[in-house]
Structure 1
Amino acid sequence: MNTNGRMSRRTFLKLTGLTSAYFIVDPPLRNLSVAYAFGDHPQEKAAYSITKKIPQVCARACECDCAYNIVVGVDQATGLERALTIEGRPEDPVSRGKYCIKALGFVDGMYNPDRLLVTLKRTNPKRGLNEDPGWVTVKTEDALKEIIEKLKKYRPEQMLFASPGDPYSNRLCRSLGVTRSDQRTECFG
């Protein structure tokens, strides 16, 4: 800070750089709270043998609809089957055998321990870092009914729908009568 109480441009840039570095470095380091020597790690690496490849089309990430295979393997120790990764299909005219990082993230998302498997509703209207959201489990049908009731307050021309342009979003737009939508993609095969 200079004598007039204002921050200099140089100090501002230094603080911005340090803050950015913190947010880049800190999340991965949180997972390293316990360090293990080689060979002492409590989880053994599972050995999988590939059992099948299931052809799929990526209709969730963007409108490109790239074709890929889900590679499925069986754990040799437990006999449990799971998706291991994906691979591109060279015969696909859009992706030409390649796939984007969003599609690769589908497999990780399936087995993410933080993945939501139930419908939750926020009960505390107060928002903030120190506020408990008060999540409660609700039936999916009840949640959908509540969302529909809230959407009925608006006319179709008052709504703007932004999505990657997948078929489900398009159908939802048409069913609501929404005429203004922004459907862009960041993926081009």
Structure 2
Amino acid sequence: LFWKAWESSFKETTILRSFEATVLSPLNLEVILKRFTNTTPDDPDSRCGGSSVSISSTLDWRKINRLIHSAVKDKATKEAKKLSLLLHSISVQNQLLLHEVKGLREALLNKNKRQKHSKPLDLQQRKEYHGGAVVWSPRKFREARVCQTVKEHEEKEQQLQKAESAKLKKAAQVYKLKMDQEKRA
């Protein structure tokens, strides 16, 4: 059983194909890189066969370098080297910014996932309470919740009254300024 499996798997063609897949025999980095690059429908290279490049797509440095080498005739000039360095730095900055944005989005999602802690109910004790364990009835919980909603409602009304009085004061100031301007004119 072992020798049958050994002879069927260890053939010259199988060994050569495995070396090709791991880029050991013919040194071809593109074989490995193709496995890790994601081709999506939004990727311009997958739609157009790699002939056109979109500025909005995220290009890696190898694609940009190939594009420079195909577009520039004399690669040894200072301008070609400057262009290559500039595009490389822009590509690196773009990748760093994309990574930062991804991290910030994850942090925002984590922050939004956190639960909001509610305020404890104000379960007021009776005056005859002298210590020990206390068992609260459902009626006491209902009363405490009602008291809490009444307090929240009163606070909201008070805030609305403050906002309304501030609005009235501002309107009175504007009216007073208009009256002063009319007296002057």
Structure 1 and Structure 2 fold alike (TM over 0.5): no
- Bigger strand fraction: 1
TM-score bracket relative to the smaller structure:
under 0.3
Larger Rg: 2
TM-score, structure 1 normalization: 0.21
Give the structure-2-normalised TM-score: 0.22
